[in-house]
């Protein structure tokens, strides 16, 4: 029985994917639950597994192709065994081999046929035989060099194309014009197909700039108090909780305190309405090999410092090994991104739509500042807040950053306001 391998539901707002790679070749026996193909979405990568035991009879969509929910990726012959292990049994000894092959194709046999080392799908082999073409002379583009239906169609089209008229004399050699420029060393260039995630990131970043009245405001914060507290408490904190005390828990708490004071930054626009959100799902931007992802801390206002640090650590690990789920990435009311871990001194972060605010953190540097009339060196960090000016005015944006500055420079206030 032939079963279609379909693109599954992939979660809220995810309707398209790109075929990453097939994990098994056509004609391979598989078990129920065995992963067959990887799909890349803009958020996570996922695997499509076999519903039951059988043979992967046919691959219909090759790696790199874009697909939608419900598209047929390939076909599985349930209850069959691998083609290489099954010997064909002719109906009659006197019947020619071609009739046996035709009978197998008509009966719906989908496994890859191999004759004299040539791999081809049954449909491709039958098309070539009907056209009087030798399938062994057709270049295969399928998995493992397999000849597909499309390969046969291209070969037929090439055969039907008229041959150029013979010429008694070779065409004249025209020297290149000195005005035409060919870059030296062009063979050193490489074209690399963008991943589904990278293409989606590019699309959404451009959309964010086109669809929002985005501005950025800046401030700086003295990190002395937080760094002193962290130095004094980090060993006991790690011993008690099992996680290291980092800076992100302080800024997450500070951002929540500021969002409570300025709720317009914890909102989104829906047509002519503003949706104010009375919960705090904070997105933490994490750099991964395939591009930036923003996993979400749910109800971060109810989390302790240790819970925030542990959750960020777990989400960062999942982003690196590719095990983030769609649930980890969906939603979010406000985002924090830390370019300082890469050495960034200052940046203008782009909104994570439909959110209307994103806080950018940067590298801590000792700089001279004036305190009490004296010039002293202090560990300073620049803060950046990008916001949607359609519902957030400059006054609220500036005051929001001032609030974060106050909470970080007096971290004990985080216990009351964060």
Looking at the annotation, which residues are catalytic? 389, 393
Distance CA 335, CA 266 (A): 10
pLDDT, residue 107, reads: 41
Averaged pLDDT, groups of 10, the chain, 418 residues long: 85 76 90 88 80 90 87 85 44 44 43 56 75 84 75 81 59 58 69 77 81 93 96 93 94 97 95 94 86 90 95 90 83 94 93 94 96 95 97 96 96 78
Q: How far is CA 300 from CA 283, 296, 306, 337, 352, in A?
A: 10, 9, 11, 16, 18
119 and 208 within one domain: no
Would residue 162 count as lying in a domain? no
pLDDT, residue 150, reads: 77
Domain count, the chain: 2
pLDDT, residue 83, reads: 45
Would residue 247 count as lying in a domain? yes
Distance CA 365, CA 378 (A): 8
Please report, in angstroms and rounded to a whole number, the separation of the first and last CA atoms in the chain.
60
Would residue 182 count as lying in a domain? no
Q: Which two tokens stand for residue 236?
A: 């006991």
Task: Count the neighbouring beta carbons within 10 Å of the beta carbon of residue 12.
Answer: 11
Domain that holds residue 325: 196-417
CATH number of the structural domain spanning residue 66: 2.40.50.100
Q: How far is CA 27 from the centre of its chain?
A: 30
Q: Which uninterrupted H or E stretch holds 284?
A: strand 282-284
Distance CA 105, CA 399 (A): 73
Would residue 166 count as lying in a domain? no
Distance CA 86, CA 121 (A): 16
211 and 313 within one domain: yes
CATH number of the structural domain spanning residue 413: 3.30.559.10
DSSP 304-321: -HHHHHHHHHHHHHHHHH
Boundary (domain end) residue, out of 156, 171, 186: 156
Boundary (domain end) residue, out of 138, 156, 174: 156
Angle at CA of residue 105, ends 103 and 111, nearest 5°: 130
pLDDT, residue 325, reads: 83
219 and 83 within one domain: no
Distance CA 179, CA 176 (A): 8
Q: Which two tokens stand for residue 334?
A: 């406000």
222 and 317 within one domain: yes
Would residue 163 count as lying in a domain? no
pLDDT, residue 90, reads: 40
261 and 129 within one domain: no
Task: Count the neighbouring beta carbons within 10 Å of the beta carbon of residue 55.
Answer: 27
Is the model's pTM score more than 0.75?
Answer: no
- Which of 388, 395, 386, 284 has the alpha carbon at shortest distance from 341? 284
348 and 224 within one domain: yes
135 and 224 within one domain: no
Indicate the burial class of 315 (C-beta count within 10 angstroms; 0-12, 13-18, 19 or more): buried
Distance CA 15, CA 12 (A): 8
pLDDT, residue 338, reads: 95
């Amino acid at each position: 029985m032939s079963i279609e391998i379909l693109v599954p539901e992939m979660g809220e707002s995810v309707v398209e994917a790109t075929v990453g790679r097939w994990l098994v070749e056509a004609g391979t026996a598989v078990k129920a639950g065995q992963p067959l193909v990887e799909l890349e979405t803009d958020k996570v990568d996922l695997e499509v597994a076999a519903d039951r035991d059988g043979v992967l009879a046919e691959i219909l969509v090759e790696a790199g192709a874009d697909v939608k929910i419900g598209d047929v990726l390939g076909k599985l012959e349930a209850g069959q065994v691998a083609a290489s292990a099954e010997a064909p049994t002719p109906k009659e000894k006197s019947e020619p081999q071609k009739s046996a092959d035709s009978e197998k194709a008509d009966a719906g046999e989908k496994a890859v046929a191999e004759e004299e080392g040539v791999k081809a799908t049954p449909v491709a082999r039958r098309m070539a035989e009907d056209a009087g073409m030798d399938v062994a002379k057709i270049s295969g583009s399928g998995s493992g060099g397999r000849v597909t239906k499309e390969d046969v169609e291209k070969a037929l089209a090439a055969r039907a194309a008229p041959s150029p008229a013979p010429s008694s004399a070779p065409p004249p050699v025209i020297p290149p014009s000195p005005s035409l420029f060919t870059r030296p060393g062009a063979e050193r260039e490489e074209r690399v197909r963008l991943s589904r995630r990278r293409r989606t990131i590019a699309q959404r970043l451009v959309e964010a700039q086109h669809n929002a009245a985005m501005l950025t405001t800046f401030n700086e914060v003295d990190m002395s108090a937080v760094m002193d507290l962290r130095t004094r408490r980090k060993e006991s904190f790690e011993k008690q909780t099992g996680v290291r005390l980092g800076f992100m828990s302080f800024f997450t708490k500070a951002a929540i305190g500021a969002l409570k004071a300025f709720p317009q930054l914890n909102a989104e626009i829906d047509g002519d309405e503003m949706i104010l959100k009375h919960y705090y799902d904070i997105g933490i931007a994490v750099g991964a090999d395939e591009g930036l992802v923003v996993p979400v801390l749910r109800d971060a206002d109810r989390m302790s410092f240790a819970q925030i640090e542990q959750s960020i650590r777990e989400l960062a690990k999942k982003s690196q090994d590719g095990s983030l789920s769609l649930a980890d990435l969906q939603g979010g009311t406000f985002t924090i991104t830390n370019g300082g871990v890469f050495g960034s001194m200052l940046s203008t972060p782009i909104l994570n739509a439909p959110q209307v605010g994103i806080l950018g953190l940067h590298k801590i540097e000792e700089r001279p500042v004036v305190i009490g009339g004296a010039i002293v060196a202090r560990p300073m960090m620049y803060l950046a807040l990008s916001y949607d000016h359609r519902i957030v005015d400059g006054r609220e944006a500036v005051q929001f950053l001032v609030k974060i500055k106050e909470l970080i420079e007096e971290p004990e206030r985080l216990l009351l306001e964060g």
